[in-house]
Amino acid sequence: MQKQTLFNKAIQTLARKVRLIAQRGVVSLINDSKKLQQIQLKLLDGEVRSELERFQNYGFTSVPKTGSEAAVIFVNGTRDHGLVLAVDDRRYRLKPLSAGEVAIYTDEGDKIHLKRNNNIEIETKTLTVKADTKARFETPILECTGHIIDNCETNTHNMGGMREIFNTHKHEENPNLSGLTEVPNQLMDQK
């Protein structure tokens, strides 16, 4: 009888630890200054666990908003060492995506969406590309629906304005003749 009681206690302890291994929680605080991000989670019945290490995929990092949901495991089923494996936020998740599509997004509506049929869509208010040497586009056509301004920090004209100046300009004839030239006979195309 005593062996059965000890066995039952051992099974109950093991069962409790197994139940406590994986949990869901809500993010309440984030420390992004450490080498591995630390998160505070609210778990079941108001239990709060702090300084839980959050693992992220190499090359990708994010700081979830308070209220995001997390999946956490506790090593050996004890609350002493928790590891946050995933964080998601159903309030802002980009949807619906088709099978095989991938997206990076923010709560402000910015997104990089890798779509089907080799189509990538980037959506934001301001996009800045920094390249120390050069930026190169290897494509037969580069389209722009708005104005293009080169040397934007010093040039006040856009490409459409420069085209207009070229197409309507006149200048003095060479010194042996007098008067102004006609406008160019070959206009800069607007296509």
pLDDT at 45: 83
Q: How far apart are CA 9 and CA 17, in angstroms?
A: 12
Closest among 41, 53, 61 to 84, alpha carbons compared: 53
Question: CATH 2.40.50.140: which residues of the chain?
Answer: 2-88
How many Cβ atoms from other residues are within 10 Å of residue 186's Cβ? Answer: 7
pLDDT at 18: 78
Scan for tokens 């100046």, then name that residue: 165
14-19-20 Cα angle (round to 5): 95
Q: How far apart are CA 19 and CA 22, in angstroms?
A: 7
pLDDT at 158: 62
pLDDT at 19: 76
Q: Give the burial string for 171-182 (b: 16+ CB within 10 Å, else e).
A: eeeeeeeeeeee
Contact 82/52 with Cβ under 8 angstroms? yes
Residues in the chain: 191
The upper half-sphere exposure of residue 54, i.e. CA atoms within 13 Å in the direction of its Cβ, equals: 28
Closest among 51, 89, 85 to 69, alpha carbons compared: 89
At the top level of CATH, the class of 2-88 is mainly beta
Average pLDDT per block of 10 residues along the chain, 191 residues long: 77 79 93 95 91 93 96 86 94 94 95 96 96 93 82 66 68 65 64 56
pTM over 0.95: no
